[in-house]
Structure formats: structure tokens, C-alpha cells
């Protein structure tokens, strides 16, 4: 058995009801690192161009990383990929929890799922074995009910369950995959792909012990982690108050999307912040396997007579913002219930919250009325309307059926000028970080292969003057040694975007958490990370090799999109961004000129070594990364 990983990948053909195991050579692991890059290898080999993402021909991959399961913070991640039913481009979503490490302990590094089961099924993986079982009794049930039932059926409370909710069964294009009932592979509709295959859940349990090449390094790094947690205030605040810790600073900088991005400051920000959550509804801090940061929230409260229970965790920053300020809702109890509904039904909180906010703007402007919504006053700030609509989306009932398709398809159904209110790139709703002050987001949102994403590069404040010395020390390790003036946009900011995109792309391949391993404020820096990867695997891996894996993944994604007909014409910001922001604060009046954005994208494509006309890699570029087998 190799160090830190199993050397075993599980293949599943749901149409045939078969499973088999592949044992790839070490070189395969070294080429991809695991995670998203490894999944893309199978997708690019097997998925024909132009298929319907919800057809049996789509391939769904679930991969953990080479260091997943090691005794260190920030390693228990699962990366899910398939063609996205939301965007038609590559789909990609990551989640933490305990399921990823448990899959490793059960003897596998990843799962490749093909075909479609004739009836609802679930996959039971335990100690090196895998079997498909009937899931007829689980179909239609909420995630919490399914988790409880599977633990009862399998007579083991310690199994970990990754599953879809009713939204995924009903093929909502903003359906997510959930593990632990509250850790979501949220983006790009991966839950709908799993639903289209009639695969309800993947339950895992294992007792295999993973071997590290140099265990002493893990002891040393654990000590360093404890010291850094106290010394670096950014990661300390994240641990203590969760990701929603960021609400007040987003508001102060004018980057808290408010009322569907009409404004960048929200008058109700204080009542939805992480600190307020800590002081009111927080029951406990939670963690992923082996992580000392403990940024996950568990809340307990009620809203409008409905209890919010600990099983469904608590809202992250993205959920607080998309359900909160994005919708003009300042009620943390309602947001907690919105989070619970999404986790019960398996809806992506970003996609769902942003889609409701879009519908609210349509309602406010008379494009839809109570007749359409079934009597719901879908106005900004109406917390009851938010939670009612989310439940209708989860069940695909009434107007919720239209919104469950995501905002772009809903805009087509609504017609008139509804598309003016969209905050989407490549059909995927934007998360709750605004490029109006963090300017490099205007590049990453446009060029990212799976749509606007806030976790695909390091944000501007960590490469702007005035920050902590540790930001700059770590950034310099990846060649970023010229911190820029706050709020600036220039070639160096494009370099920040591209270089840190490669870094984050590699994190999503090796399966490392971006709050723990990173190039600036995180618990560990790039040097610690390479030391950890060497100690886990015994490989003589370097930072250059790590970045190369990130570049490989990025080019694989872009190549997939090229095969689907995507080019730079799809790399555009929402139309609404070209209008000045309303409201108060430092971003009031700020807007984006599409021509200027196109010029910065030219710089980005040049840095990536891609064709300036198409914005895509050519055969030569792919060959330079060992990807000459990809047919464009």
C-alpha cells in the first residue's frame, strides 16, 4: 500500500449494476494529486461532447486527495465533477466533513459513476468492498431522515453519508450533494446529476489505517498550527465566529451584495453577522475530520413556528449573505431556517438564495405578481416569503418549480426584461463577494470555467498594501511580491488572479481546504504545505510541481468547455455590473466597463498561454502539460 493513499479507485456502472476496482500506478497520482483533476481525467476520456448533462452518458466523479485522512487540519475534502446541467460547462463543487476521510479509511481514493440505475439505489462502501443496494425506501425523504435510516439499516452510527435530497431527485439544476446533512458540494447542480442516475446516497465506513512517509512532520505541523491559530487573527476570527465573521467587513468595504446587487451595504448587517450568531443562536462550533480551526457552525432556534435543529449545522457566510442581504432579509433566525431547508432538500444555498433575490427584484418591478407566486408577497426583506419559496423550490411546487431551474432559466420563463436582473456568469449565480472593491474578482468571475466563484483565487485584500507581514511573506513564495494599492486594478492584479487561481486549483486537486492551506492569511503557508505533502507521500514534490498540477486541472476544465463550444464570449460579467451601484458606502456609483474588463481578460489569457481569440488552450499548450490525449 502506498503512503497516504490507497491506490484504489472504485468504478460504478449503474446501468449494469456493476462495480469494479482500478489500481492506477503511482505516476497517475503524482500527475493529478487526486480531487478534481483526477475526476476530470475520467470525464474527459469518457463523456462525449454535446451530451445532455442529465443523461446516463454523463460521468459523475467524487474524489478525495492524496493527503485526505492524514492527521492534520484541512485535508478532509471531496471534489465532485461532471458536466453541469446548470451551465452546460464543466461542473465542479467541493465539500468538507468526515465523509472524505472515511472514504479513504474504507479503502478508496475516488469513485467514478456512470450510467443510470433502473430504480433508486445507494452505494454502500465498507472496508474495501462496495455494493449497490435498493434505495426505494429512501427516495423522497429529507436528508436528515435518510441519514438516520441508513445508520439504522446498516447498524452503525459511525457511517458517513453523502446524498442528494428531494431537489436532486427532482433534477433541480441548483441541487447540491450533501454529506453529514450540512456539508455541501454546492455549486453547478451536481445533485441533479446524481439524481438523474437514480443514485440517492453513498454510505461509507472503514477501519483502514493510512500510512504517512514521515509521521514526525505531522506532529511538528500540528504544533505550528496551534501557534498560528493564535498568531494570525484572520484564521482565528474564522474559527471563533465562522465564515459569517466576514459580514461586517464586507459591509464596511461596500461589498456585501444587497437587494440583488443593487447596493453594496446592508442596513441590517449587524443582525446577521457571525458575531451575532455566536452571541445568539450558536449551539456549538463544529469541525471537519482532524481540523483544529473548527469554523463550522451548529445553530438551534426557530422561525415562524418551525424549529431549526442542530443536525443541519448552521449558515456559512455565503448562506447568510445570499439569504440575508442579497434578499434584503435581516432576520438571522429566518436565515438559519433557510439554511436548514436547503440542507434538507439538497439545494445549493448560493444558487437558491441568489435565485430568490432575482425573483424578488422581478416582483418589485411588476414582472411577476402574487398570481405567479401563489399569493406570496415576494418582496425584498420578506423573510417568510424567502423560506416559503425555498420550500416550494425543494419540492418543485408552484412557482418554486420555475425557480428550482436556477435564475437564468427562470428569467426566460418570466420573459420581458427579467434577464436585466440576473447576477450570473455562464448561467451560474454569483456568490456574495463583490468585485466593485475587490477588483480581481471581476476577472476570476468572468474566466472561471465553472462560473462566478469566490473560492478560485485569493482575494485582493491579501495582496494590497497595509496588511499583515505574513500575507506578503507567503505571497512572495509563489512569486507575488508587489502588493498593490487598495482598490486598484492593473496587470499585477491580473497576475494575482492567475497565479493564485493555479494555487487554489491545485488545492482542489490535492483535496486541501482553502481556509487552512493558502498563500496568505490561512493557518499554513505554501512552505508548510509542501512539507506536509512530502511527509504524507514520500514524494520529492516541490511548489512548482504543485502549481503545475493546478495548471493541469485548469486547462482540463477549459478544454472540456472548449469541446462544449465555450470560448471567451462566455467569459462576461453580468449586464447589471455595468450600471453604477446604488446605496451608500465606498462602492456607491462603482460600475464595470465591459470593454475594460475584456482588456484585462486579454492579459489573463496571455498569462495562461491561451489563444487570445478563443480564450482556450490549444493542442500545444495541452501537450506542454502532458494533456495531448485530450481531443479538442
Partner 1 sequence: MRINVTLHSGLRSRLPPELQGQTAIELPEGSTLADLAGRLRMKDMLYAVGGSVEREWTRPLRDQDEVDVFVRAAGG
Site residues for partner 1, 77-136, by CB under 8 A, read: none
Which residue carries 485584500 as its cell? Answer: 461
197: nearest Cα among 47, 343, 53: 53
Give the C-alpha separation, 171 to 345, whole Å.
12
Question: Contacts with partner 1: how many residues (CB under 8 A)?
Answer: 47
Give the C-alpha separation, 543 to 541, whole Å.
7
For partner 1, the closer of residues 287 and 455 by Cβ is 455
Task: Map residues 475-494 to x or -, x wherever contact with partner 1 holds by CB under 8 A.
Answer: -----------x--------
301: contact with partner 1 by CB under 8 A = no
- CB 254 → partner 1: shortest distance, Å? 7
- CB 243 → partner 1: shortest distance, Å? 4
- Phi-psi category of 165—alpha, beta or left, where left has phi over 0 and alpha has psi -120 to 50? beta
For partner 1, the closer of residues 419 and 455 by Cβ is 455
For partner 1, the closer of residues 150 and 256 by Cβ is 256
Among 104, 173, 200, 459, indicate the residue that binds partner 1 (CB under 8 A).
459
Give the C-alpha separation, 584 to 578, whole Å.
18
For partner 1, the closer of residues 85 and 100 by Cβ is 100
Determine how β-strand 78-83 pairs with β-strand 60-63: antiparallel
For partner 1, the closer of residues 205 and 439 by Cβ is 439
DSSP calls for 516-563: TB-SSSSSB-HHHHHHHHHHHH-----HHHHHHHHHHHHHHHHHHHHH
Which residue carries 508587489 as its cell? Answer: 482
Among 7, 56, 467, 609, indicate the residue that binds partner 1 (CB under 8 A).
467
Q: Are 447 and 612 in contact (CB under 8 A)?
A: no
580: contact with partner 1 by CB under 8 A = no
Site residues for partner 1, 240-279, by CB under 8 A, read: 240-241, 243-254, 265, 275
Which residues fall within 8 angstroms of residue 1, CB to CB, at 6 or more apart?
7, 211
For partner 1, the closer of residues 249 and 572 by Cβ is 249
586: contact with partner 1 by CB under 8 A = yes
Scanning 116-124, 412-420, 579-587, 609-617 for contacts with partner 1 by CB under 8 A, the matching segment is: 579-587
- CB 468 → partner 1: shortest distance, Å? 5
For partner 1, the closer of residues 80 and 293 by Cβ is 293
Tell how far CA 284 is from the center of its chain: 23
CB atoms within 10 A of CB 448: 26
For partner 1, the closer of residues 295 and 404 by Cβ is 295
- CB 558 → partner 1: shortest distance, Å? 25
Site residues for partner 1, 398-457, by CB under 8 A, read: 432-433, 454-455
Among 303, 317, 380, 450, indicate the residue that binds partner 1 (CB under 8 A).
317
Distance in angstroms between the alpha carbons of the first and the last residue of the chain: 36
In the beta sheet, which residues pair with residue 163?
Answer: 178, 201
3: nearest Cα among 96, 126, 129, 109: 109
Q: Are 83 and 173 in contact (CB under 8 A)?
A: no
For partner 1, the closer of residues 227 and 628 by Cβ is 227
Scanning 64-72, 104-112, 192-200, 463-471 for contacts with partner 1 by CB under 8 A, the matching segment is: 463-471
- CB 192 → partner 1: shortest distance, Å? 24
- CB 550 → partner 1: shortest distance, Å? 19
Which residues fall within 8 angstroms of residue 562, CB to CB, at 6 or more apart?
614, 616, 617, 632
For partner 1, the closer of residues 2 and 431 by Cβ is 431
Scanning 21-29, 32-40, 137-145, 584-592 for contacts with partner 1 by CB under 8 A, the matching segment is: 584-592
Among 87, 182, 188, 321, indicate the residue that binds partner 1 (CB under 8 A).
321
The grid coordinates listed for 492 are 499585477
Among 55, 145, 149, 236, indicate the residue that binds partner 1 (CB under 8 A).
236
The grid coordinates listed for 8 are 484504489
- CB 201 → partner 1: shortest distance, Å? 27
CB atoms within 10 A of CB 543: 17
For partner 1, the closer of residues 467 and 609 by Cβ is 467
Give the C-alpha separation, 375 to 382, whole Å.
13
Give the C-alpha separation, 248 to 265, whole Å.
10
Site residues for partner 1, 510-569, by CB under 8 A, read: 514-515, 520-521
The grid coordinates listed for 205 are 465506513
For partner 1, the closer of residues 318 and 564 by Cβ is 318
Please, what sign has the CA dihedral across residues 492, 496, 497, 502? positive
- CB 284 → partner 1: shortest distance, Å? 17
In the beta sheet, which residues pair with residue 22?
Answer: 9
For partner 1, the closer of residues 251 and 505 by Cβ is 251
394: nearest Cα among 168, 147, 137: 168
- CB 275 → partner 1: shortest distance, Å? 7
The grid coordinates listed for 164 are 442528494
Give the C-alpha separation, 51 to 140, whole Å.
27
Among 225, 451, 585, 617, indicate the residue that binds partner 1 (CB under 8 A).
585
Write the DSSP symbol of residue 210: P
- Binding interface with partner 1 (CB under 8 A): 233-238, 240-241, 243-254, 265, 275, 295, 316-318, 321, 432-433, 454-455, 459, 461-462, 466-469, 471, 486, 514-515, 520-521, 584-586
Amino acid at each position: 500500500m502506498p503512503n497516504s493513499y490507497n491506490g484504489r479507485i472504485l468504478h460504478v456502472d449503474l446501468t449494469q449494476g456493476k462495480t469494479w476496482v482500478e489500481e492506477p500506478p503511482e505516476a497517475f497520482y503524482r500527475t493529478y494529486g487526486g480531487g478534481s483533476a483526477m475526476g476530470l481525467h475520467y470525464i474527459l476520456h469518457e463523456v462525449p461532447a454535446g451530451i445532455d448533462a442529465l443523461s446516463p452518458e454523463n460521468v459523475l466523479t467524487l474524489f478525495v486527495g492524496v493527503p485526505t485522512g492524514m492527521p492534520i487540519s484541512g485535508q478532509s475534502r471531496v471534489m465532485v465533477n461532471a458536466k453541469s446541467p446548470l451551465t452546460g460547462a464543466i461542473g465542479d463543487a467541493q465539500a468538507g466533513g468526515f465523509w472524505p476521510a472515511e472514504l479513504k479509511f474504507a479503502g478508496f481514493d475516488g469513485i467514478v459513476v456512470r450510467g443510470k440505475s433502473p430504480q433508486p439505489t445507494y452505494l454502500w462502501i465498507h472496508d474495501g468492498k462496495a455494493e449497490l443496494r435498493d434505495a426505494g425506501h429512501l427516495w423522497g425523504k429529507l436528508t436528515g431522515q435518510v441519514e438516520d435510516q441508513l445508520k439504522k439499516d446498516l447498524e452503525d452510527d459511525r457511517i458517513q453519508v453523502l446524498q442528494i435530497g428531494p431537489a436532486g431527485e427532482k433534477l433541480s439544476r441548483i441541487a447540491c450533494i450533501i454529506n453529514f446533512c450540512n456539508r455541501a458540494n454546492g455549486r453547478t447542480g451536481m445533485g441533479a446529476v446524481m439524481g438523474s442516475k437514480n443514485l440517492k446516497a453513498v454510505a461509507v465506513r472503514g477501519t483502514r489505517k493510512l500510512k504517512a512517509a514521515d509521521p514526525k512532520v505531522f506532529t511538528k505541523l500540528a504544533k505550528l498550527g496551534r501557534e498560528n491559530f493564535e498568531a494570525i487573527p484572520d484564521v482565528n476570527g474564522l474559527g471563533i465566529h465562522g465564515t459569517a465573521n466576514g459580514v461586517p467587513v464586507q459591509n464596511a468595504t461596500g461589498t456585501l451584495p444587497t437587494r440583488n446587487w443593487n447596493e453594496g451595504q446592508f442596513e441590517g448587517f449587524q443582525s446577521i453577522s457571525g458575531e451575532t450568531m455566536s452571541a445568539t443562536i450558536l449551539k456549538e462550533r463544529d469541525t471537519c475530520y482532524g481540523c483544529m480551526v473548527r469554523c463550522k457552525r451548529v445553530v438551534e432556534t426557530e422561525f415562524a413556528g418551525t424549529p431549526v435543529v442542530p443536525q443541519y449545522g448552521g449558515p456559512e457566510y455565503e448562506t447568510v449573505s445570499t439569504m440575508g442581504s442579497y434578499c434584503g432579509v435581516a432576520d438571522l433566525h429566518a436565515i438559519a431556517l433557510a439554511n436548514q431547508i436547503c440542507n434538507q432538500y439538497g439545494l445549493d444555498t448560493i444558487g437558491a438564495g441568489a435565485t430568490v433575490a432575482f425573483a424578488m427584484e422581478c416582483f418589485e418591478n411588476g414582472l411577476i405578481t402574487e398570481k405567479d407566486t401563489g399569493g406570496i408577497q415576494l418582496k425584498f426583506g420578506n423573510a417568510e416569503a424567502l423560506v416559503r419559496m425555498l420550500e416550494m423550490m425543494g419540492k418543485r411546487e408552484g412557482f418554486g418549480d420555475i425557480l428550482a431551474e436556477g435564475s437564468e432559466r427562470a428569467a426566460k420563463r418570466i420573459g420581458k426584461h427579467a434577464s436585466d436582473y440576473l447576477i450570473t456568469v455562464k448561467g451560474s449565480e454569483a456568490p456574495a463577494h463583490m468585485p466593485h472593491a475587490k477588483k480581481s474578482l471581476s476577472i476570476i468571475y468572468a474566466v472561471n470555467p465553472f462560473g462566478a466563484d469566490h473560492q478560485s483565487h485569493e482575494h485582493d485584500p491579501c495582496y494590497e498594501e497595509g496588511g499583515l507581514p505574513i500575507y506578503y511573506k507567503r505571497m512572495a513564495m509563489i512569486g507575488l511580491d508587489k502588493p498593490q494599492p487598495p482598490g486598484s486594478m492593473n496587470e499585477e492584479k491580473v497576475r494575482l488572479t492567475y497565479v493564485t487561481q493555479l494555487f487554489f486549483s491545485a488545492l482542489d486537486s490535492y483535496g486541501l481546504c482553502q481556509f487552512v492551506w493558502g498563500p496568505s492569511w490561512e493557518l499554513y503557508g505554501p512552505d508548510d504545505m509542501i512539507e506536509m505533502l512530502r511527509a504524507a507521500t514520500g514524494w520529492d514534490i516541490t511548489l512548482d510541481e504543485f502549481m503545475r498540477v493546478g495548471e493541469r486541472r485548469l486547462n482540463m476544465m477549459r478544454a472540456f468547455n472548449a469541446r462544449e463550444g465555450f470560448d471567451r464570449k462566455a467569459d462576461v460579467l453580468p449586464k447589471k455590473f455595468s450600471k453604477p451601484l446604488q446605496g451608500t458606502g465606498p462602492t456607491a456609483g462603482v460600475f464595470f466597463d465591459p470593454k475594460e474588463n475584456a482588456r484585462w481578460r486579454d492579459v489573463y489569457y496571455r498569462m495562461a498561454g491561451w489563444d487570445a481569440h478563443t480564450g482556450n488552450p490549444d493542442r500545444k499548450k495541452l501537450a506542454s502539460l502532458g494533456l495531448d490525449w485530450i481531443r479538442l
